[in-house]
Structures are given as C-alpha cells and as structure tokens.
C-alpha cells in the first residue's frame, strides 16, 4: 500500500526521526538517543545535512512533538493527533511551495522560509503525517505493542493489521506466546 511517493518518504522519515531521537524502550531494552557527534552523524546519514549541535537539539525537541502524533493515534485519540499536527505545521511554518533546483523538474516543498534547517525538515514530515491523518488511512500510525518497546511505525500493509515496530518485536511476542502455551 502506498500513500504516494512523497508522503511515503516523509512518513517513513518521521518514523525514523522519532525512533532515533526520542528516549524510551526499543525491542525489550531501554533506548537512549545518540548525542553529540553520534547524533550529528546519524542525522547526516538520514539525509538531514550537516546540522550543528543547536539545530540538532531543535530537531530532537521536535521529534518528541512528532511522537505525540503517533501516541495519540495509538490511543485512538485522532482529535489530539490532528491538533498536534496543526501545532507542528504552525511552529515549523509549513507551506507548500513549488521548487526547481539541480536540473530536477518542478516539485513541491513543504517548508517555509527563514526557519532553521530542523524546522524546515519537520515541516515536511508534519505535512506527510497530515496527509495520512486526513485520509482513510489515518489509523495507520502506531506505537509498538510488544512489551518493553515504544518505537513508532507506519502500517503500509495491505490489510492494516500491523501492531509491532519490527519483525524482531513480532517474533519476541510470538515466542513468548508459544512458551506460555507450552507451560
């Protein structure tokens, strides 16, 4: 299932941004986000450019705000998710803008002007989430339901039955259920 190529990309990156930059638990273990050079390098690898520490910290704060969208949908509170997305669109000054650069055809960008690199980035991610939340697929955002994991995901399966952040968590839960049955 595809929303469309831009939305898929934006939502996938929103998931990665939240899972990389927000603390919690991951696949049964405590998760602490990277800091300093490690954070810089992982953001560079994710395509966010050469962020200085201040900009990376802004992005870390916005990642916590993006997490609220996933958590609200997971709790069935679509209203709260919608309000949070509107808040993010506001603070990042998101707005559609046709752009053409590097010999590419005209294409839509979703960030305002004059913001930080982080705000520009999150404007695009929040727009992607807005497209999903405003569609029939609004329940496709979620938080892993495996024990000791709170990583987020977007469900792109055909049936929309995904409940876990990863096959690792899915297998953990399957194994536990199998052991429980054996007792």
The alpha carbon of 60 is separated from its chain's Cα centroid by a whole number of angstroms, namely 12
Work out how close the CB of 153 gets to Zn ion at its nearest, in angstroms, rounded to a whole number.
8
Which of 169, 170, 173, 178 lies at the binding interface for Zn ion (CB under 5 A)? 169
Which residue do the tokens 């638990």 mark? 25
Q: Smaller CB distance to Zn ion: residue 121 or 164?
A: 164
Q: Which stretch binds Zn ion (CB under 5 A): 8-16, 28-36, 70-78, 150-158?
A: 150-158
Count of residues in contact with Zn ion, rule CB under 5 A:
6
Which of 66, 85, 146, 152 lies at the binding interface for Zn ion (CB under 5 A)? 146
Q: Smaller CB distance to Zn ion: residue 30 or 114?
A: 30
Query: What ranges make up the beta strands (E) of 21-169?
Result: 24-26, 29-31, 97-99, 107-109, 141-143, 152-154
Q: Tokens standing for 73?
A: 């949908």
21: left (phi over 0), alpha (psi -120 to 50) or beta: alpha
Using CB under 5 A as the criterion, which residues of the chain lie in contact with Zn ion when the complex forms?
Answer: 144, 146, 149, 151, 165, 169
């Amino acid at each position: 299932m595809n929303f469309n190529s831009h939305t898929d990309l934006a939502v996938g990156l929103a998931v990665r941004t939240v899972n990389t930059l927000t603390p919690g638990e991951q696949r049964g273990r405590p998760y602490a986000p990277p800091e300093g050079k490690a954070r810089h390098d992982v953001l560079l690898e994710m395509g966010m450019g050469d962020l200085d520490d201040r900009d990376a910290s802004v992005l870390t704060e916005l990642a916590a705000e993006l997490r609220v969208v996933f958590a609200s949908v997971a709790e069935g509170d679509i209203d709260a998710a919608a309000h949070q997305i509107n808040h993010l669109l506001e603070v990042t000054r998101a707005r559609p803008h046709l752009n053409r650069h590097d010999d590419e055809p005209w294409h839509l960008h979703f960030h305002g002007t004059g913001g930080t690199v982080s705000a520009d980035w999150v404007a695009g991610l929040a727009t992607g989430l807005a497209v999903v939340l405003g569609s029939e697929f609004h329940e496709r955002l979620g938080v892993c339901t495996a024990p000791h994991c709170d990583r987020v995901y977007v469900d792109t399966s055909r049936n929309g039955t995904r409940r876990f952040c990863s096959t690792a968590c899915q297998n953990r839960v399957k194994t536990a259920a199998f052991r429980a049955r054996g007792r």
